[in-house]
Amino acid sequence: MLDKRIIESIEFDNQFVKNLPGDPEKNNFRRQVEGACYSRVHPVKTAGPKRIIHSKEMAQDLGFSEEFCESDTFVRVFSGNALMPGMDPFAMCYGGHQFGNWAGQLGDGRAINLGEIITPASGRQMLQLKGSGPTPYSRNADGLAVLRSSIREFLCSEAMFHLGIPTTRALSLVLTGEQVERDMFYDGHPKLEPGAIVCRVAPSFIRFGNFEIFSSRGDLKVLKQLADYTIKTDFPHLGEPCPRVYVKWFEEICKKTCEMIIHWMRTGFVHGVMNTDNMSVLGLTIDYGPYGWLENFDPGWTPNTTDASMRRYTFGNQPQIALWNLAQLGNAIYPLIQDASPLQDTINEYHRLYQIGFNDMMAAKLGLSAFNPLTDDSLIQDLMTLLAMIETDMTIFYRSLAHLDIDHLPEDFSKSDTDIQTFARPLMDAYYRPQQIDTPYREHLKSWLEQYARRIHSDPLSVESRRKKMNHTNPKYVLRNYLTQLAIEKAEQGDFSMIHELLEVMRHPYDEQPGKETFARKRPDWARVKPGCSMLSCSS
C-alpha cells in the first residue's frame, strides 16, 4: 500500500492526455500509431528496486519532502512498481530526422510519462520514467535502460542545470534489481548489465518530432490540435492560436534553441545526437545519450561512435545543425500557416541572433564589459586558432585566463624582458602535451596576449569585476567524461559514493571548492581512448 499521508498533497493535472487524442488500442504491442499523440501504457514491475540517489533541488521544486524521497513509497513509484492516485501513464508518439534522414515514427520507446503535477515552485511539471519497459514505440527494443547510461543521464541533467544551461531535470536514479543485455558498441559482444531507471522532469517533453510525424502523414487535424495545445499550455503569452501566433511561436522556439546552443558552446558541451526527435520546443537540452564534454579544444570532435565517420554532430557543427533542425520544424508547421516567407525570415534571423549571442558570450568569457566588433572579431578568431594549435583543455584555459596579471602585461613583448611562458604560467596546466609548445605556438600566444592586453587596457571593467565576470561565465568544474566513467565503474561494483560526490561538486561548478580540485583536473592519459571516456554509443 502507498503511504497516503505522504502523497495526499501531490496534485496531478494531466492536461496532455485530457486535451489531445489518444491511441484507442489498449494493448501494449509494437505498432504504427495513427491519429494519436500518445498511447496509454504502464511501467513494468521490477524485481528489487533500490534508490541510489535523488536530486534535493528537484525534489524541493516539486514539493517533495526528504521524508518522502527516502521512503519505500518513493522507491516503488519511481521504479515503476506503483502508481500514485491521479497518475495516468502514457508514451508519446513522434517522428524525427535522424542523422539528416527522415526516420518515420519513433516515439517514446523506453520512456513512460507518469503524469503532470502542479508544483509550488515551478508550475506544471511532467514526471517521466526512462527505462521502465516497452511501449508501442519500442520497435525491436526492450524499453529498458542500464546503470551506466542512467548514471550519465542523472548526473548530466543536474550538472547542466547548475551550469545555468536550459535542460530537462532528473529527480531520481533507481536500480531495478534486474539484469539487462546490451551490446555497448554493437560489435557482437553483448553482456548483461545492471538495470536502472531515471525519473526525468520537465514542463513538457514535446519535441520537434511530435509535429513532424503528423505533418508527414498529412494529419493536419492532429497537427493543429497539438500546436494549439502547446501554445496554450507552454506559450500562453503569445495569444490565441492562429497563423500569426504560429509564426510568433516559431520565432520563440528559434530564439530559445539559439540560446541553448550558445550555452553549449560556452561550456564545451557536445550533445552527440542532435536528431530532430531530440530537440525540445522549450529550448531544453533533452535526451542525454552519447554526449561528451570537450576536453582538448577540437571543434571537429563528436562523442558518438555512430557519428564517427559522418561527424555530423561535432562540437563546431552544433549551431548549424540546430538551424537545420529548426528548418525541419518550420516545414512541419507550414501547413498551419500556408505562407513560407515569415518562417524563412525567422530562419534567416537565427544567424543574426546566434552571432550576437555568441559574441556577447565570448566577451563575458574574456572578461570584457561588452563586445566591440572593431577589436573583438579578430581577438576571438585568433583565440580559436590558438586553442586548436596544440592540445589545450578548454575548461582549464578559460578558467585560468582570469588568473593572468593581464593589467601588467607589456603591450609589446618584443621590447620587454618578460618571458611568455613565465608570464602565462597560470595557463600551463591547460596543455595536455607541454612539449608541443614550440616556437610558432609561443609566438602566436605572445601575439594573442598582446592583443588581449590592449583590449583589456581599453575596457572600463576593474580587475576585480573582470575576474568575477569570467569566473561566473567559465566553470571550474564540468562533468568530465572520465569522472563519470569512474563513478560508473564503482557503481557497477556496488559502490555509489562517487555518484553522490560528483553531484555535490557539480552543484557549485563556478566555485573554487577547496579540497575538490581533483575534479577539475584535465583528462588523464589513460582515459584518452578508454570506452566511456572518449567515445560512446547509443546503446543504453
End of a domain among 184, 206, 228?
Answer: 206
Residue 496 domain flag: no
pLDDT in tens, 377-419: 999 999 999 999 999 999 999 999 999 988 777 666 656 656 7
- Looking at the structure, tell me whether residues 202 and 227 fall in a common domain: no
Residue 147 domain flag: yes
Greater pLDDT, 381 or 540: 381
Residue 478 domain flag: no
Residue 485 domain flag: no
CA distances from 62 to 10, 12, 210, 486 (A): 9, 12, 26, 30
CA distances from 96 to 35, 48, 321 (A): 17, 35, 14
Residue 138 domain flag: yes
End of a domain among 206, 240, 275?
Answer: 206
* Residue 209, pLDDT above cutoff 60: yes
- Looking at the structure, tell me whether residues 341 and 431 fall in a common domain: no
CA-CA distance, 480 to 477, in Å (whole number)? 8
End of a domain among 425, 444, 460?
Answer: 460
* Domain interval for residue 294: 209-365
CA-CA distance, 222 to 238, in Å (whole number)? 20
Residue 352 domain flag: yes
Residue 327 domain flag: yes
Contact between 397 and 521 under an 8 Å Cβ cutoff? The reply is no
- Looking at the structure, tell me whether residues 321 and 377 fall in a common domain: no
- Looking at the structure, tell me whether residues 145 and 179 fall in a common domain: yes
Contact between 52 and 42 under an 8 Å Cβ cutoff? The reply is no
* Residue 539, pLDDT above cutoff 60: no
Per-residue pLDDT averaged across 193-203, rounded? Answer: 97
- Looking at the structure, tell me whether residues 354 and 426 fall in a common domain: no
- Looking at the structure, tell me whether residues 348 and 385 fall in a common domain: no
Segments in 30-171 forming alpha helices (H):
56-62, 66-69, 72-77, 147-162
The catalytic residues are 277
- Looking at the structure, tell me whether residues 154 and 274 fall in a common domain: no
- Looking at the structure, tell me whether residues 409 and 324 fall in a common domain: no
Segments in 70-207 forming alpha helices (H):
72-77, 147-162
* Residue 422, pLDDT above cutoff 90: no
- pLDDT of 413 reads 61
The reported pTM is 0.96
CA-CA distance, 485 to 151, in Å (whole number)? 9
- Looking at the structure, tell me whether residues 196 and 214 fall in a common domain: no
* Residue 186, pLDDT above cutoff 70: no
Q: Any idea how long the chain is?
A: 540
CA-CA distance, 524 to 504, in Å (whole number)? 22
- Looking at the structure, tell me whether residues 63 and 196 fall in a common domain: yes
CA-CA distance, 39 to 24, in Å (whole number)? 8
CA-CA distance, 513 to 307, in Å (whole number)? 36
pLDDT in tens, 70-123: 999 999 999 999 999 999 999 999 999 999 999 999 999 999 999 999 988 889
pLDDT in tens, 293-343: 999 999 999 999 998 899 999 999 999 999 999 999 999 999 999 999 999
Question: At a CB cut-off of 8 Å and minimum separation 6, what does 71 contact?
Answer: 3, 6
Structural domain count, the chain:
3
- Looking at the structure, tell me whether residues 171 and 220 fall in a common domain: no
CA dihedral 406, 477, 298, 487 (to 10 degrees): 160
Contact between 56 and 156 under an 8 Å Cβ cutoff? The reply is no
- Looking at the structure, tell me whether residues 360 and 245 fall in a common domain: yes
